[in-house]
Amino acid sequence: MEVENQTETKKKVVVVEDDTLLRDLLVKKLLRENFDAVGCVDAKAAFRQFDQEKPDVILLDLILPETDGFEILTQIKASQDLSHIPVLILTNHGQKEDVDRALKLGAQDFLVKANFTLSEIIERVQMVFEDQSIV
């Protein structure tokens, strides 16, 4: 019975991205791939969403209005309720310093938008769940 409930429950992905077109494309693609997905434009919307329903994974842009992705990542990893959630950074900034900082702050993966197709981004999200099932 417990296994059946797990297979029926869709994995929830929150996409924190201020680019409306990319956010909408990612959410639609995730929904088509049988995820429960929602998009947020900034930190306030993201944390409201995190409080309403804990996501299974977070796709997080670094450049956002008001609060940047590094600060959001820091707050996620400092939260007792959220720290276990895998965070994948999805950004246009691929400098080594940004990658190192994000990984040091607790990001599970770092994806440079220009280097990945939508399908490849979804594959990286799916890999998170495959990795968790091994543990």
pLDDT single digits (tens) 80-114:
999 999 999 999 988 999 999 999 999 999 999 99
Instruction: Give a three-class secondary structure readout of the chain.
Output: CHHHHHHHCCCEEEEECCCHHHHHHHHHHHHHCCCEEEEECCHHHHHHHHHHCCCCEEEECCCCCCCCHHHHHHHHHHCCCCCCCCEEEEECCCCHHHHHHHHHHCCCEEEEHHHCCHHHHHHHHHHHHHHHHHC
Does residue 2 register a pLDDT over 50? no
Query: Does the global pTM surpass 0.85?
Result: yes
